[in-house]
Structure 1
Amino acid sequence: MELAGKESCTGCGACAYVCPKKCISFKKDETYYDIAYPVIDEKQCINCGKCQKSCPALNPLERATPISAYAAWSSDSEERRTSASGGVAAEIYKYALKKGWSIVGASFCEDFKVRLELADDLDAIKKFKNSKYVFSSTADIFHKIAQKLKEGGKIVVIALPCQIAAIRKIFHDKLDDLLLVDLVCHGTMPYEYLKQYIGYIEKSYCKKAVRLTFRDPAKGTENFALSLYDEKDVCFYSCASFEDIYQFAYHCMVAYRENCYHCCYANSNRVSDITLSDYKGLGACSPCKFLEKKVSSVLVNTTKGREYIDELIHNNLIVVEKRPIEEPIKGDSQLRHPSVKSFSRRLWEKKYKRNFVNVTLYVYKMSEFRNILLGIYYLPNRIFRKLYRILSS
């Protein structure tokens, strides 16, 4: 049996879950940037083909074109303050729990690993909130979803598009009991990189990190501050996005899984009922009275999604303004095409030798140097344009 190649495998885990012999495991490929890929134990494989049939990369799903778009935020000011954008995801979770449903989201677990978890209580929302710029494991979540659905439960899942696609493939006959919400994704970085990075910061500060946040509410989630806290919950490291090498690797698309640069979900046709993201480009297509700061973009893709959002609005859980559908699509490149391999990414690939911190520091410095050279190169042209505008006026 042949599984999806490195350019398309998202690591969603659907193949491993459906395998009747449990002979598929994920192993780190040391020759390919230490990224984990599924490997079949050929001695146990019975060639049933279930792994291939369940793979969203090998069998693309039908997708929905958004039917409406909103700029939205939570009516709860504290929820909005502590959420990555407008806090709409938190309100989706809270309303689901109120209806007696279960919720699924990404949560930090031991040693800063991230995995999808199923919960039935409000406390879980605190763990699910905010961005987690690292690969999230689906280990065990499919089993938990299957058990909950077998018991007659309903579930709201908020996850990455590739994970939503896996859930749709596996539970295609139970979709009536699932509300699927995907997050606009730029890419994911392997856990191995985060582990190395945290170790590097701990060594530099002689501190042990016990809590990590990628968009620290204490610094304003819109500022993308990566913060590390010690056992006394005192912040000993905090740095804004492009000044921190891990955030540089993420936001500048330097160290993603290979499939992220070929992502089939990075377009306006979605695999979910609802799509959430930061609202980029707010006001570009139609006048707007408020800023995009702390505002969520909500794309409603199906009738089921529209009914759920209407219920949130009717119960005054979220504040919304209807927007042109094309506005968030024009504003966010990830709704048009996958992340593009830049000069920094290609240099990173060339120099990578199993040490994320060293190679990223090198690429970061080279990127800064390159930007300086480009600034000098284009300086005469900028001066000429400025003088031309002055003389023309």
Structure 2
Amino acid sequence: MLQITDKSKCCGCNACVQRCPKQCIEMHDDKEGFLYPVIDTAVCIDCGLCEKVCPVLNQNNVRKPLQVFAAKNRNEIQRLHSSSGGIFILLAEQIIQNGGVVFGARFDKNWEVEHCYAERIEELQPLMRSKYVQSRIANTYKEVESFLKHGRQVLFVGTSCQIAGLHKFLRKDYDNLLTVDFICHGVPSPG
């Protein structure tokens, strides 16, 4: 069973919450507004799945990139409505045109940042631009897994921690999954 005694040992990715077969883990805000898992020990069966999917406890080997590329969207209108060169919209449109699904972060009606998915090009606009806070992942890893198992191509964009959490949650590689993260030195609290 996960026991978070040092908050630097948790990235708040939500993989443990979604993998728990008893749904006895919930994410709660700390006093600064960061999300951390809280376990209902009365329901926990100590199966260890939460620990197996934790990207902090199970870090991958350090790898160096094979090649590095720089790119920017040539469409000035799209680029000006984007962040980091406007590449997201190009990738997302390609995935959707091929019948796939795109996951990214958007502001909800309360101006909180949440992860969600889009299946139509018209739904991509709220996912554009950087949000610069920790997004609420909710059940998106489970949704990704379902789409992948049904053969759909999936693009998932998030922080490095969220991408690591997704890969640990899935527990296997999928050829129809494209993940995109960005250089991140930590996120501020949503609070």
TM-score, normalisation: structure 2: 0.92
The equivalent of 2:182 in structure 1 is 183
2:184 aligned counterpart, secondary structure? coil
> 1:63 Cα deviation (Å)?
4.6
The answer for the alignment partner of 2:2 in structure 1 is 2
SS of the residue corresponding to residue 62 of structure 1 reads coil
Measure, in 2, the Cα distance between the counterparts of 1:86 and 1:186.
19
Following superposition of structure 1 onto structure 2, how do residues 215-364 of structure 1 map, counting pairs within 5 Å?
A: none
After TM superposition, give the deviation of residue 29 of structure 1 in Å: 2.6
TM-fit CA distance, 1:181: 0.9
Aligned partners of 2:61 and 2:152: how far apart in 1? 25
Note the C-alpha offset of 1:123.
1.8
Structure 1 position 136 matched with structure 2 position 138: no
What is the CA distance between 1:174 and its match in structure 2? 4.2
Instruction: Tell me what 1:150 maps to.
Output: 149
Q: Distance in 2 between matches of 1:19 and 1:26?
A: 12
Does 2:19 match 1:18?
yes
Contact 2:148–2:174, Cα closer than 8 Å, also in 1: no
Quick one: distance in 2 between partners of 1:34 and 1:182?
A: 23
1:317-347 Cα offsets, whole Å, 9 max, x none, are: xxxxxxxxxxxxxxxxxxxxxxxxxxxxxxx
Structure 2 residues not aligned, in runs of 5+: none
- Structure 2 counterparts to residues 378-393 of structure 1, below 5 A: none
Deviation at 1:190, TM superposition (A): 2.0
* Percent of pairs with identical residues: 34
RMSD value, Cα: 1.5
CA distance in 2, matches of 1:41, 1:48: 13
Check conservation: 2:73, 2:79, Cα contact below 8 A. yes
How far off its partner does 1:76 sit?
1.3
Shift of 1:156: 1.0
Look up the SS of the partner of 2:26 in the other structure. strand
Amino acid at match of 1:137: R
Secondary structure of 1:66 counterpart: coil
Instruction: Give CA-to-partner distance per residue, 1:217-248, whole Å, 9 cap, x none.
Output: xxxxxxxxxxxxxxxxxxxxxxxxxxxxxxxx
**How far apart are residue 34 of structure 1 and its match?**
4.0
The whole-number CA distance in structure 2 between the counterparts of 1:173 and 1:36 is 26
Amino acid at match of 1:104: F
CA–CA separation in structure 1 for the residues paired with 2:28 and 2:79: 39
Is the contact between residue 3 and residue 52 of structure 1 (CA under 8 Å) also seen in structure 2? no
SS of match in other structure, 1:105? strand
Going from structure 1 to structure 2, the CA distance change for 1:66 and 1:159 (only over 3 Å counts) comes to: same
Q: Please state which structure has a larger fraction of its residues in helix.
A: 1
- Aligned counterparts of 2:84 and 2:16: Cα–Cα separation in 1: 33
For 2:73, give the aligned amino acid.
S
Conservation of the 8 A alpha-carbon contact between 1:14 and 1:166: yes
Contact 2:53 2:171 in 1 (8 A): no
> Which deviations, in whole Å up to 9, do the C-alpha atoms of 1:48-94 show, x marking residues without a partner?
11101110001112353212222211121211121113111111111
Is the contact between residue 3 and residue 51 of structure 1 (CA under 8 Å) also seen in structure 2?
A: no
Report the CA distance between 1:180 and its aligned residue. 1.1
SS in 2 for 1:74: coil
Q: Tell me, which stretches of 5 or more residues in structure 1 are unaligned?
A: 193-393
When the two structures are superposed, what TM-score results if normalisation uses the length of structure 1?
0.46
For residues 110 and 96 of structure 2, the distance between their equivalents in structure 1, rounded to whole angstroms, comes to 28
Post-superposition offset of 1:26:
1.5
CA distance in 1, matches of 2:109, 2:55: 29
Greater Cα radius of gyration, structure 1 or 2: 1
- Name 2:83's counterpart in structure 1: 84
